[in-house]
Structure 1
Amino acid sequence: MTLSKKWILSLLLVVFVSLLAACGNQDETAGDKDNNNKSESQEEGAQDKSGKGGQAEMPKPDLKGIPDVVAEVNGEKIPKDEFETVYKGQFQQAAMQSQMTGKKVDQDKLKKQIAEGLVGQKLLIQEVNKRDYQASKEEIDKTLKDLAKQNQIKSTDEFLATLKKQGMDEKEVMSQVETQVKVDKLIASESGDIEPTKEELEKAYEQVKAQQKKMGGEGKVPSFDEVKPALKEQIKGQKKAKVSQKLVKNLRKDADVTVNL
């Protein structure tokens, strides 16, 4: 697989950026439910435009006019190349979703979300440095192993070799993984008890069943016990993301932030 330079660094804000998008989507949920039929018609229209009843042509990211310095956080600059790396990855996901729903990607909105995510990331890293968190070799190795597994790469050595081909040496990778471990510790210290309750798990399971039914799924829905581990991780991730958002919001109150988009 191909992993771009600064790829690990972008992982630090993926959840945060996704949360920003999710929060915006939640505000629009009611309207979306009322417009389900309209969305279906849009999707059909998009398919018809292809000329063969298939999916519309994949849109391309618009990166014209991106300033050399996208934002500045307490004197630290977020450069254009860092923004573009993250934007391209997030845009690809948004474009694939666009093909499924028939809704055009709002690139201006996505750019603002990415910029805010990068600002949030920078604030978290700055706070980590202030609090002087430490990351042990064991913690770094475990995180590296988890990253390799998430990307379906068999070993950390192979993972490092893949990143090296993309321009990241081992020292740079280790530095970024160490930062991720420290940020995880910061979020964990702010999260407190995030263990999902029985009620939360059951509610999430009902949502899974409803979603499969809505999508016309014909297969048998897995039992609650089968999906419980995955649901636990999902809920814990959501709670951590909300804590991250709250922490960033508080940090930003006293921060000197300029966004140039």
Structure 2
Amino acid sequence: MRVKKVLAAALVAPTVFLAACSSDDGAGSEATSQESSSSAEEGAGGEAAAEPDLDGVPDVVAEVNGEEISKDEFVPAYEQQFQQMAAQSQMTGQQPDQDELKKQVADQLVNTELLEQAAAERGIEASEKQVDRTLADLAKSNQMGSADEFISALKEQGMSEDEVLSQVAVQVKLDQLLEKESGGVKITDAELRKAYDQLKSQSKQTGQKAPSFQKSRSQLEEQVKSEKLNGVAQTLLKDLRKDAEISVNV
């Protein structure tokens, strides 16, 4: 069985992956905080939260150039996105459109499969050292002391260690693919200053004080780089979809 296509939303660092690689700008909702997820579970005014509707989901959700995307891959990705939308619905009062959400999640999985296939065709591989380094970065981004602690947290959310390692290896390969496609991402000081101004504005809205530019620089560099690689992913996916044989069954 192939590994799950998505790491738990509460733990994933902001890297180029499912939501970022969607061909539909509105397909990938941003991960909500754990507090928002909790409010979704409790429901507004103590009412029971809506449940994801998985009735009728076929065993083969989609097929991409002969590669099947199974129900087992679709369900955890869908449940994650549904949880995010359910949390948002507590504020808007509007129930998630599950039919539309299923199409969006299937589309995200198709895009990820296309990128995986492109990486394989280019001979891109993930070394053990690269996987270990990425795990350490993920642990740090999620304020955990070690990669082992990060893996343990994902185990509690239903993923085995082999699934985590396989998923991170996929991420490493996709990152390499987009780096090569971009020809090397260059980040200017002006771009960092613009991102910092946005950070200060967001902090002001929440009543918090933003850290200094220098303290934020590393985070800002990752943010700007991720945004640029997302753009590369969108362009690459348009080309890949032109020649791909894709069928979606939801």
TM superposition score category, shorter chain reference = 0.7 to 0.9
| TM-score, normalization by structure 1 | 0.73
Task: Provide, for residues 13-46 of structure 1, a one-character-per-residue CA deviation record: whole Å limited to 9, x for no partner.
Answer: 9733245498238xxxxxxxxxxxxxxxxxxxxx
SS at match of 1:70: strand
Call closer, same or farther: CA 1:158–1:233 in 2, change over 3 Å: closer
Identify the residue that residue 241 of structure 1 maps to in structure 2.
230
Q: Retained in 2: the 8 A contact 1:6–1:85?
A: no
Q: Which residue of 1 aligns with 2:216?
A: 227
Corresponding residue for 2:139? 148
1:81-112 CA-partner distances (Å, limit 9, x unpaired): 21011111122122222323444323222222
**Matched residue, 1:92:** 83
Whether the 8 Å contact between 1:21 and 1:113 is mirrored in structure 2 is: no
Return the alpha-carbon distance in structure 2 between the equivalents of residues 164 and 17 of structure 1.
22
Find the aligned partners of 2:232 and 2:219 in 1 and give their Cα distance: 20
Structure 1 gap ranges (5+): 26-48
The structure whose residues are more often helix, as a share, is 1
- Counterpart for residue 55 of structure 2: 64
- Superposition pairs of residues 44-193 of structure 1, within 5 angstroms: 50=44, 54=45, 57-160=48-151, 166=158, 168-170=160-162, 172-193=163-184
State which structure, 1 or 2, has the greater radius of gyration over its C-alpha atoms: 1
> Which residue pairs with 2:245 in the alignment?
256
1:201 corresponding residue in structure 2: 192
CA distance in structure 2 between the aligned counterparts of 1:167 and 1:226, rounded to whole angstroms: 34
Indicate conservation of the 8 Å contact 2:62/2:249, yes or no.
Answer: yes
Does the CA contact (< 8 Å) of 1:133 and 1:185 recur in 2?
yes
Describe the shift of the 1:97–1:194 C-alpha distance in structure 2 as closer, same or farther (beyond 3 A): farther
SS across alignment from 1:15: coil
Shift of 1:63: 1.6
* Aligned-residue CA RMSD (Å): 3.2
Structure 1 residues 219 and 152: CA distance shift in structure 2, 3 A:
closer
Instruction: For 1:144 and 1:138, locate their aligned partners in 2 and report how far apart those are by CA, in whole Å.
Output: 10
Name the % identity: 48
Is the contact made by 1:16 and 1:245 (CA closer than 8 Å) also made in structure 2?
no
Structure 2: any 5+ residue segments left out of the alignment? 28-42
Instruction: Give the alignment partner of residue 6 of structure 2, picking from 3, 10, 15.
Output: 10
Question: Quick check: 73-82 or 187-196, which moved more?
Answer: 187-196
Q: 2: distance between equivalents of 1:199 and 1:209?
A: 15
TM-score normalised per structure 2: 0.76
Distance 1:222 1:169 in 2: 35
Name the CA shift for 1:107/1:14 in 2 (closer, same or farther; >3 Å). Answer: farther
Partner of residue 26, structure 2: 24
Shift of residue 121, structure 1, vs aligned partner: 0.8
